[in-house]
Chain A
Amino acid sequence: MIREIWYTFIDFLQTFGKLQIFFVRLVLNSPNVFLTRGGLIIKQIHNAGAMSLVIIMVSGLFVGGVLGLQGFSILSKFNAEDSIGTFAAFSLVKELGPVITALLFAGRAGTALASEIGLMKATDQLSAMEMMAINPLQRVLVPRFLGGVISMPMLTAVFIIVGLFGAHVVGVNLLGVDEGAFWQQLQSTLEMRDIYEGIFKSVVFGIVASLFAVWEGYNAIPTAEGVGRATTRTVVITAIAVLILDFMITAVFLR
């Protein structure tokens, strides 16, 4: 029993170590890919970023709308419904924007990446590249990784802007909060530090989500079942990692 737990622990450490080495290799290969394969990165930004826009915008709109409703019902108890803009902006910029975008990104783009890479492995495409003396790391993995890393902050920004719009529609246009107060309070309370926190989170989550997607795809067992499992694991692991990291980053920024 103890031995089993010990082996599981060792196994976990080994996997974690391999993941770190994998990450370092991705990063070390990145400058070269940037210089020589820019087109591939742009294609992947399109795949991971532009193709996720619809889901991000729709989700952002409704999350913003909910913030408007909930914010109004709570804040009106203190006669503070004018602060609804601040309430929505703080929630979106610091928490909901980066976190929900990362979760949606894992579901939309992460799964696509993991299954695509897993299937390329299962159909020997990666081996074929190896045999043609072309490094799949540079041709397949790094462009997809960078595409995700670059897309995430931009998607987060879109999510926040659309979310604010949703809160504005609900708060100002539907529930009759004063528009001037909405923007004025938002402007006077939201500081650059808060925005930096949001940007920092979105960059970290972008790296984490892309890393796990590429990693799971590349290490998938090359069968139909294995690729399916890798896809599921991508979402599960990314979600857990993002939520834990979110807690840690928030704690650090509060100091």
Chain B
Amino acid sequence: MNDKSEHLIEIRDLCYSRGHREIFKGLNIKIPRGHVTAIMGPSGTGKTTLLRLITRQLLPDSGTILVEGTDISTLNQKELYQMRRRFGMLFQNGALLTDISVFENVAFPLREHTRLPNRLIRHIVLTKLHAVGLRGAADMMPTQLSGGMARRVALARAMVMDPEILIYDEPFVGLDPISMGVIVRLVRKMNDALGISSILVSHDVQEIATVADCSFLISDGKVAASGSPDELHNTSSELVRQFMHGMADGPVAFHFSAPNYAEQLLGRDAE
């Protein structure tokens, strides 16, 4: 891999559509190395889709995605898996394997990819579980966990191979304030202490502001604004202000496109 490339991930003119709906129309993003980068946007703007495109779980219609300067669409399966081993990904709902215990879930990548002795695996897994505060839940089954706990276990699993790039898909949704605070600090601390890069998809403006170094706001298939959270907060752009301050009125329509309200209620659209 070409380690001299300036940016960790570079997305050029990305287009992607699902069915007839265009999700991205020429998206350009450069994600720097060693920072916490946030990708924000209203629901349904394809933030999760973007993560799946970056990790090549989906292929774009057009445009290129470079990871460390390598175009990921050119990788064969072996190279792709090689690349993915450098990623750790936290899924929205945790995506724990439901047929094995919490401990085995976190140990899963280690058992699959390494030949470490059992004692060492136990050591590593317990450390990671301790970091997310769930060492005591090691013997439970994933179905016994609450949504927030499952996400924390999934975070432990995402960290267990010590990835260079950690990807979080909506890490703060459904967490209580205490877990939220711990996770926010953990994200920040891991990024700085381990020198990794983090990519975070979220619409929790407050949390993003405390944890992210730079952020991209996606709207209508393009990057609407970028910069540090403070810059975004004090911006003059109508759209960004609306999103950052959570206002109902503005360029982003709160309502999904629909026929005229009054006409529909009065039944005049039944032509």
Cβ-defined partner of B113 (8 Å) among A123, A124, A133: A133
Across-interface contacts of B92 in A (CB, < 8 A): 124
Chain B, residues 110-146, CB within 8 Å of chain A (1/0): the string is 0011000000000000000000000000000000000
The CA of A219 and the CA of B57, in the complex, are separated in Å by: 15
**Nearest opposing residue in chain A for B55, CB measure:** A131
A178 at the interface (CB under 8 A from B): no
B89 at the interface (CB under 8 A from A): yes
A132 at the interface (CB under 8 A from B): yes
Chain B, residues 58-99, CB within 8 Å of chain A (1/0): the string is 000000000000000000000001101101010111011110
The CA of A142 and the CA of B108, in the complex, are separated in Å by: 18
* Chain A interface mostly: helix
The CA of A223 and the CA of B151, in the complex, are separated in Å by: 20
Across-interface contacts of B81 in A (CB, < 8 A): 133, 135
Q: Which of A95-133 contact B (CB under 8 A)?
A: 120, 123-125, 127-133
In contact, A133 and B96 (Cβ under 8 angstroms): no
A74 at the interface (CB under 8 A from B): no
In contact, B109 and A132 (Cβ under 8 angstroms): yes
Q: Chain A nearest CB: distance from B7 CB in Å?
A: 21
In contact, A127 and B84 (Cβ under 8 angstroms): no
Across-interface contacts of B112 in A (CB, < 8 A): 132, 134, 139
Chain A, residues 155-192, CB within 8 Å of chain B (1/0): the string is 00000000000000000000000000000000000000
Across-interface contacts of A132 in B (CB, < 8 A): 84-85, 108-109, 112, 157, 161
**Nearest opposing residue in chain B for A129, CB measure:** B97
In contact, A127 and B95 (Cβ under 8 angstroms): yes
- 8 additional contacts, CB 8 Å, given A125-B97, A131-B55, A131-B89? A123-B95, A123-B98, A124-B93, A124-B95, A132-B108, A133-B82, A133-B85, A133-B113
Give the A-binding residues of B (Cβ under 8 A).
52, 55, 57, 81-82, 84-85, 87, 89, 91-93, 95-98, 108-109, 112-113, 154, 157, 161
Query: What are 5 pairs between A and B in contact, CB < 8 Å?
Result: A123-B95, A125-B98, A128-B91, A131-B57, A131-B89
